[in-house]
Structure 1
Amino acid sequence: MATEQKAEGTEQTNGDNPDVGFVEKVEAKYHELRQHAETYPYVWASYTVVYGGLGLWFAYRWRKLRKTEDRVRVLQERLRQLAQAEESTSSSSSVPPKLDKPPK
């Protein structure tokens, strides 16, 4: 009987404002998780270690990938500049430059 009245009371609040029901659900879930964390601290510590370690590893790999991409971009730009310089020198003089051979 008491649960029926309680259910009717929550339906009335949910009917007026749908956000109120959402906030209540979030708060109830938060309290449930908090109680579980206080009851089983070693389980939550292991979650923290495992997922924290994975997060750190992904962050490390992501940063390393970004640094590699930056180095590749710099090398590509340098290669592009060398190709343009070589192209401009070959187009400005139609005669190929003489190569001086060292005396033997």
Structure 2
Amino acid sequence: MASQQEREKDVQSTNPHGFREMVEEQYKKIKENAETYPYVWASYIVVYGGFALWTTYRWRKLRKTEDRVRALQERLRNLVDSQDSAISTSTTLEKAPPSIDKSSPK
């Protein structure tokens, strides 16, 4: 007898129409509970809403900091590249032998 009732419940839960009724019934229970205990639900909203706002704030602050660090790293990389190219240019000029011009009289 119990197994037959379990099969009927399984059939209802797999049936889309039964699933919809189950969701509507659950919604009605939650709505009734919220109307019965509004202060409890309001406290949940305040606490978890505040936590969500704080998390969002920290996440955005972290992203802005990361963007700023990436920009500074790129500036530093460009500065180092420009200094390296300036040093390599000056060393090649110093190492180049002076040109000897044979046409000028001594």
Match of 2:15 among 11, 14, 18: 18
Point out where structure 1 has 5 or more consecutive residues left out of the alignment. 1-6, 96-104
Q: Aligned to 1:30, which of 27, 33, 56?
A: 27
For the pair shown, the structure with the greater C-alpha radius of gyration is 2
| Percentage of identical aligned residues | 58
* Aligned match of 2:65: 68
Aligned pair count reads 87
Moved over 2 A (4+): none
Q: Pairwise CA RMSD of aligned residues?
A: 2.3
- Relative to the length of structure 2, the TM-score reads 0.73
**CA offsets per residue over residues 19-54 of structure 1, 9 Å max, x none?**
222211111110000000000000000000000000
Return the TM-score normalized by structure 1.
0.74
Higher RCO structure (Cα 8 Å, ≥6 apart): 1
